[in-house]
Structure 1
Amino acid sequence: MPAPLRIGDLVVDPPILQAPMAGFTNAAFRQIVREFGGSGLLATEMVNARGFVWLDENEAEHPDRLWGVADEPRPLAVQIWDNDAATMAKVGRRLVEEYRVSIVDINFGCPVRQVTEKAHSGSYLLREPQRMFEIIQRLVKACRPTPVTAKIRLGCSPENVNCNEVARVVEEAGAAALTVHGRTAKDMFRGNADWERISEIKSHLRAIPLIGNGDLDSAEKVVAAFDNYNVDGVMIARACLGRPWLFAQAAAALRGETIPPEPTLAQQRDVMLHHYRLVTQRFGEDKGTILMRKYACCYAQGKRGARHFRSHVASVSSAEEFYAIVDQHFPITDPQP
């Protein structure tokens, strides 16, 4: 069993983190992950710092991406993004004072064009380490004593891999931990995450922990990441969206225990319906049903008839339609041999 992860004064045990994912890791999803257990640190969706400030100044409701944050169990990280140090610091201080978050994480890894090319944020900033330094340093000062962490990719492109340099900058600026996704921004999610490259970064850090991220879709791969690479923690991302029990499986494997089996298809269906009820309680039937379409597709992934189910559930707009599609098309038993 790897040692607990220490991020500043925060102890993350087990050292398995749930990745912040835009459009997915809201309070409903986090509640379900927490019910299964196994993740030492959960995170919100990434929050646009500039948008947060605008809402605040116009006395509007704070972003839906902060739904549940004030009241849910700790530890909990909130990830924010922007390219302006003063804006980031202002939002970070509010998150610490008003929301009492456990960690403020900075997104330097998002490869989506709307964030990179249009807003010059996320992984775009990997080409400007000095600007990253200024943002981190300003945020660390504003959030103290709450730890500030950073998430990066290997670089902007395979021809411009600068993760070692960036890692040193992140630590020198005062960040308490570094998470690295093992692809470049240009790669998006194509190909395989390069865990050798992630592991090499450890020698460029003096004291802060290194968290590896990418392609961890089984308990066995989580164990292998700790066994084969020089990381202090791991972060599970896309693989958990339709399998929120993956964290519990990985934690059991790290303890040397028997890995809990996948829930039956009927049990997975019940988890999905529980998720749907949580979403509609917050957003109402109309908006909640539309939001649930993408989650339902995740729960179906890899199952018999998944494409057929997705084609139907992708257009539902009411609870009646949603339950009818689930009853008719979501498999509850494996096909007979």
Structure 2
Amino acid sequence: MSQVQPLMIGPYKVDPGVVLAPMAGITNVAFRTLCREFGSPTSLYVCEMITARAIVERDPKTMEMITFGADEHPRSMQLYSVDPANMREAVKIIVAENLADHIDMNFGCPVPKVTRKGGGAALPYKRRLFGEIVAAAVRNAGDLPVTVKFRVGIDDEHVTYLDAGRIAEAEGAVAVALHARTAAQRYSGQADWSRIARLKEAVTTIPVLGNGDIFSATDALKMVEQTGCDGVVVGRGCLGRPWLFAELHAAFTGAPIPDGPNLGTVGRILFRHATLLADHLGAEKGLRDLRKHMAWYLRGFPIGGDLRTRFAMVSGLDELADLIGQLDPTAPYPEEAEGPRGRQGSPGKVVLPEGWLDDPDDAAVPAGAELMHSGG
């Protein structure tokens, strides 16, 4: 099995070239720590999306979300903005207060509350405005590398990714990442990896990363082989499966890919996740946050419905330890646990501001589009 070359993000050697995608409500410091424990400490693990306006206005919840582990390096923060002025001021604060080592810009969100205001995956259609926002980040980031993530486009009739890649490259981004779906697809259907290959042909001086439908280490190797991308961004594939980063590390370094864990090992990983969340959020809030992960961790294993329900309502570490003790630790990793996980939904028409598609060169900031709260 051949090795995949390390990836350079500005001054940082990302080895192997694997990035944990920011996911709202998921990639807090506890989950990132767990993924790093399985993967390489020199891969990239990106925090939940932070909005530029919330940093500028010192939103307390947002400032609390900007939490990194003591040994987390480089500290990767994903920033969302539709306004070059807010992006400029937020980046100045991040640099002045040493809040992060790397800034990733989000232009891929397909959520209607974001696109209806012209944000997320809708924004790259406005080429000039997109370029001005990227430039505002790059020119104020000092030594911090800036990367840009986006989708194929709004829908099949409004494809923007090649222009977005070339503009980001021209404005000084040090890498781009493509989620190979349109906003209209949301998370449904299949990602079109051929678009990643085309972006790699169009963007020639900086790394191009691929994202979409990586649910196993084999998927990651196939994406690199088929597209020539320089690295991969993994989101839903690691939900309830942080050990995917150990499998990716093995695959990218030419080592044998380890088998999936048995239920006893999954129980230990689940308890480790719980303790990390309790340390980060406090026991009560941390265990409540863990509930959303339960079905992902236990997917496919032979567990009775009653026990599953009790896991989904767990409220304390002692209770969790007792429930884990009732599992069959020898149960092997099930085939049913493989494949897509997390939200998929169905495709739908992208909600846009009135007249949004009239003039792609209009650089006006969309009215009321700047989100105040972080996390998506």
Report the TM-score, using the length of structure 1 for normalisation: 0.90
2:50 counterpart residue number: 47
Amino acid at match of 2:229: V
Structure that is richer in helix per residue:
1
The answer to which structure, 1 or 2, has the higher relative contact order (CA under 8 A, 6+ apart) is: 2
Q: Is the 8 A contact 1:80 1:106 kept in 2?
A: yes
SS at the partner of 1:80? Answer: strand
Change (3 A) 1:286 1:162: same
Matches of 2:185 and 2:217, distance apart in 1: 25
Per-residue deviation, 1:241: 1.9
Per the TM alignment, residue 145 of structure 1 is displaced from its structure 2 partner at its CA by 1.7
Deviates most, 25-34 or 295-304: 295-304
Alpha-carbon distance between aligned partners in 1 of 2:328 and 2:89, rounded to the nearest angstrom = 45
Pick from 260, 266, 269: which aligns with 1:271? 269
Cα distance in 2 for residues equivalent to 1:97 and 1:330: 52
1: distance between equivalents of 2:22 and 2:333? 35
Contact 2:39 2:248 in 1 (8 A): no
Q: CA deviation at 1:205?
A: 1.1
Q: Which sits farther off after the overlay, 180-189 or 259-268?
A: 259-268
Question: Any idea what SS the aligned residue of 2:293 has?
Answer: helix
SS at match of 1:63: helix
The 1:153/1:335 distance shift into structure 2, 3 A limit, reads closer
The aligned residue for residue 281 of structure 1 is 279
Compute the displacement of 1:237 (Å): 1.0
User: Is 2:149 the counterpart of 1:147?
Assistant: no
**Distance change (3 Å), C-alpha of 1:324 and 1:147:** same
State the match for 1:106 in structure 2: 105
Q: CA deviation at 1:312?
A: 3.8
Separation in structure 2 between the aligned mates of residue 191 and residue 61 of structure 1, nearest angstrom: 34
Root mean square deviation of aligned Cα: 2.3
Q: Which of 20, 43, 53 is the matching residue for 1:18? A: 20
Q: Is it true that 1:228 corresponds to 2:229 in the alignment?
A: no
Measured in 2, the distance between the counterparts of 1:249 and 1:271 equals 15
What is the CA-CA distance between 1:123 and the residue it aligns to?
Answer: 1.0
Shift of 1:317: 3.9
Aligned amino acid, residue 222 of structure 1: A
Relative distance call for 1:84 and 1:239 in structure 2 (3 A) is same
Contact kept? 1:308, 1:329, Cα under 8 Å: no
Look up the match of 2:77.
Answer: 78
Shift of 1:76: 2.7
- In terms of mean alpha carbon deviation, does 293-302 or 150-159 score higher? 293-302
Structure 1 match to 2:343: none
TM-score, with structure 2 as normaliser:
0.81
Q: C-alpha deviations, 1:128-168, integer Å up to 9, x for none?
A: 12111000001101102211110000001122222111111
- Check the 8 A contact 2:275/2:317 in 1, yes or no: no
- Paired position in structure 2 for 1:68: 68
Structure-1 residue corresponding to 2:350: none
User: Secondary structure of 2:46's match?
Assistant: strand
The residue number in structure 2 matching 1:300 is: 298
- Mean alpha-carbon deviation: is it higher for 97-106 or for 152-161? 97-106
The answer (yes or no) to whether the contact 1:300–1:309 under 8 Å persists in 2 is no
8 Å CA contact retained: 1:32, 1:275: yes
Unmatched runs of 5 consecutive residues or more in structure 2: 335-376
Contact 1:50/1:82 (8 A) holds in 2: yes
Contact 1:304-1:331 within 8 A present in 2 as well: no
Aligned equivalents of 1:51 and 1:169: distance in 2? Answer: 26
SS of 2:76's equivalent?
strand
Identity percentage over the alignment?
Answer: 35
- 1:92 match: secondary structure: helix
Kindly state the Cα deviation for residue 298 of structure 1 after the two structures are TM-superposed: 2.1
| Residue deviations 1:71-126 (CA, integer Å, cap 9, x gap) | 33212310011211111122222223323522101000011123222x43211212
Deviation of 1:309 after TM superposition, in Å, equals: 5.3
> What is the alpha-carbon distance in structure 1 between the residues aligned to residue 304 and residue 209 of structure 2?
33
Amino acid at match of 1:33: C
Match for 1:240 among 238, 250, 256?
Answer: 238
Out of 135-144 and 107-116, give the one that drifted further: 107-116
Distance 2:204 2:332 in 1: 50
What SS class does the counterpart of residue 114 from structure 1 fall into?
A: helix
Q: Structure 1, unaligned stretches of length 5 or more?
A: none
Residue 103 to residue 308, structure 1, CA distance change in 2 (3 Å): farther
Number of aligned residue pairs: 331
Give how far 1:318 is off. 4.2
Supply the distance in 1 between the matched residues of 2:324 and 2:229 (Cα, whole angstroms): 41
Q: 1:330 to 1:185 in 2, by over 3 A?
A: farther
Cα offset, 1:327, TM superposition: 4.4
Residue by residue over 1:215-243, the C-alpha shift from the partner in whole angstroms, topping out at 9 and shown as x without a partner, is 11111111112222121111111111211
Residues 16 and 235 in structure 1, CA contact (< 8 A), matched pair in contact too? yes
Which residue does 2:260 correspond to in 1? 262
Task: Write the distance in 1 (CA, Å) between the matches of 2:312 and 2:125.
Answer: 38
Q: Give the Å deviation of 1:328.
A: 4.7
* Contact 1:171 1:205 (C-alpha < 8 Å) held by counterparts: yes
Question: After superposition, what is the alpha-carbon deviation per residue over 1:269-296, rounded to whole angstroms, capped at 9, x for unaligned?
Answer: 1111111111112212221121111122
